[in-house]
Copies of this chain bind each other. A is one copy, B any other.
């Protein structure tokens, strides 16, 4: 009898725990998901305008000054971006300011309208963290619940903006520390990511579909599937390269950031200089392919993430140029995020390596897509799950190989400076 009463108490406790977080999180995630839907819609609009009016690029320096001044006068701690949110999870303190959400949304749309090479995840995560922090104040939560709600905010933003809720949930737990995941917020983050993604879909926002034709008929992998040793070896070599590219990107970004700060002490001028450099780079390479998000383009000859999957053509240096364009754009103070450019860099490097080694380009584009991000953000499990959510389960062993090795080879560098090292990699 005592055992049954004990069991019943436990079950009621778990139901209460789940319901409490459901009630706290669903409204927050719905707001974050709606913000992401609006952001993705806006991003499509401004990207479309830029394709129609290529001369907008020449105003990138001016637009940069506007964003710079905005952050200079109104930004306060919002300038801290993703790192501020991570700091507030490690040590809850002043919270994440509400203004972060509109500022980063506006800043990112401006960056993309005028052709800066940037991404989306920074914006989504910052909107998620800022909105979650506002809900925390409204709910008057204690410090440990604030931590959980902030992680849930990251999960909601990430899950909604990429349409990968499981990866979003695991990302929010995995990104805080290198080498360790803790499950404190497992269920809250998952609820938030699913609710955020769902809300975003409910607004009619879809996501780009990537397709791997290589062995496309296999639905469940391990049961049907014997690894091809030669292909596995190629994947291993490519994965080490993905990890090194992650390090190259992270280190270049941090060094350029420091350089910009030294050369241009007054913040608002930095994006102006950065914008001029991007324009110079544009004339140097003679293509607009490395501007903006890079996911797709109305021009069928453009080199985009989608084209790395679909076109048989090999592009050997696209990854290099996208690293340069993105590092300059973001280090100069433009807004957005690193992740979509990292997807581009990864898919491009995968495409190039497939060409060199004679491997399926669509598979290698997919592996680079998730692996470079795994290396740069130090989140190998989230990226493996993202690979499954985006590309299906057929190649899950190759995907995990790529993400785990890129994680190892990227060392302890990464794009998030507030990430802590819990368990060293070697």
Hey, which bits of chain A sit against chain B, CB under 8 A? Answer: 3, 7, 10-11, 13-15, 17-18, 163-166, 169-170, 178-184, 186-187, 190, 194, 197-198, 201, 207-211, 216, 219-224, 226-227, 240, 243-244, 247-248, 251, 255, 380-381, 384-385, 388-394, 396-397, 400-401, 404-405, 407-409, 411, 422-423, 425-426
- In the complex, which residues of chain B have a beta carbon less than 8 angstroms from the beta carbon of A423? 182-184
Instruction: Give chain A's interface secondary structure class.
Output: helix
Across the interface, name the chain B residue whose C-beta is closest to A221: B389
- In the complex, which residues of chain B have a beta carbon less than 8 angstroms from the beta carbon of A11? 240, 244, 409
Residues B219 and A187 in contact, CB atoms below 8 Å apart: no
Across the interface, name the chain B residue whose C-beta is closest to A386: B222
Question: In the assembled complex, how far is the CB of residue A190 from the closest CB belonging to chain B, in whole angstroms?
Answer: 6
Question: In the assembled complex, how far is the CB of residue A205 from the closest CB belonging to chain B, in whole angstroms?
Answer: 11
Q: Knowing A170-B381, A186-B404 touch, does A390 contact B15 (C-beta < 8 A)?
A: no
In the bound assembly, the distance between CA atoms of A22 and B73 in angstroms comes to 55
- In the complex, which residues of chain B have a beta carbon less than 8 angstroms from the beta carbon of A397? 165-166, 194
- In the complex, which residues of chain B have a beta carbon less than 8 angstroms from the beta carbon of A179? 182-184
- Among A197, A208, A390, A425, the most chain B Cβ lie within 10 Å of the Cβ of A425
Q: Quickly give the copy total for this chain.
A: 2
In the bound assembly, the distance between CA atoms of A180 and B394 in angstroms comes to 28
Residues B388 and A393 in contact, CB atoms below 8 Å apart: yes
CB < 8 Å neighbour of A14 from B165, B385, B390, B426 = B426
Residues B223 and A166 in contact, CB atoms below 8 Å apart: no
Q: Knowing A380-B186, A396-B166 touch, does A391 contact B220 (C-beta < 8 A)?
A: yes
Q: Knowing A17-B408, A187-B405, A219-B392 touch, does A400 contact B166 (C-beta < 8 A)?
A: yes
- Among A166, A190, A385, A404, the most chain B Cβ lie within 10 Å of the Cβ of A166
- In the complex, which residues of chain B have a beta carbon less than 8 angstroms from the beta carbon of A164? 222
Q: Knowing A194-B227, A397-B194 touch, does A222 contact B180 (C-beta < 8 A)?
A: no
In the bound assembly, the distance between CA atoms of A284 and B394 in angstroms comes to 45
In the bound assembly, the distance between CA atoms of A211 and B223 in angstroms comes to 10
Question: In the assembled complex, how far is the CB of residue A214 from the closest CB belonging to chain B, in whole angstroms?
Answer: 13
- In the complex, which residues of chain B have a beta carbon less than 8 angstroms from the beta carbon of A187? 404-405, 408
- In the complex, which residues of chain B have a beta carbon less than 8 angstroms from the beta carbon of A226? 198, 201
Q: Knowing A223-B163, A223-B209, A404-B190 touch, does A17 contact B426 (C-beta < 8 A)?
A: yes
In the bound assembly, the distance between CA atoms of A197 and B223 in angstroms comes to 11
